[in-house]
Amino acid sequence: MSNQDVIKIRFNKTSLLFGLMATVVSFAVFCSIFLAAIRFTSIYDVVGVFGGGMGAVFSLYMFINVAPGLFSKDRVIFTIIPGPDGRIESIKKSVDIKNIRDYKIAKNGFTPRAMFFEDLIIYTLDNKKVKMPTYNLLHYQDLNNDLKKYLLPYISSGSEAQAQKNIK
């Protein structure tokens, strides 16, 4: 397989800047609220200490969750190797295209990460669920178009109709 046959799904620089700014600036704001309130000059400072501390922890947690996407090599989130023997790969996971039963882009689970970040969820023919994080750095319409163009022709024929319904 030549290198030009590999499709790299990348995020744009605007998403990178927004992801960095949203997490780093919110962390700085919550830390400053916490530090200003820690002096306890008023009864309302208790709210500031609690809110600033929780906000700083939360924004640090969000930064840790988005960091693998922000600092990925060449801004690549997914790699698609098209063809009947192709596969879709993320940083840590890989799925053969012919083994895909269904896919969708959705929030999954009941964690703080799942409340804010959507994943590419792939259901395989052997009833496994593979979650590939998008880190909210992709334009989902472009991702859907790429998945439709490079995955749908090669997934099993019974699964193609099911996957076609998930395209937004």
Q: Are 76 and 12 in contact (CB under 8 A)?
A: no
Q: What is the pLDDT of residue 164?
A: 57
Over the stretch 115-151, which tens digit does the pLDDT of each residue have?
Answer: 888 999 999 989 999 999 998 888 888 888 888 888 8
pTM: predicted TM-score of the whole model, two decimal places: 0.80
Q: What is the pLDDT of residue 147?
A: 87
Q: What is the pLDDT of residue 154?
A: 82
CATH number of 3-8+74-165: 2.30.29
Distance between CA atoms of 51 and 34, rounded to whole angstroms?
A: 7
Distance between CA atoms of 52 and 46, rounded to whole angstroms?
A: 10
Tokens of 166: 């998930």
Q: What is the pLDDT of residue 5?
A: 84
**Sequence spans of domains, the chain:** 3-8+74-165, 11-70
Which residues of the chain, if any, have pLDDT below 70?
A: 1-4, 156-168
Q: What is the pLDDT of residue 31?
A: 97
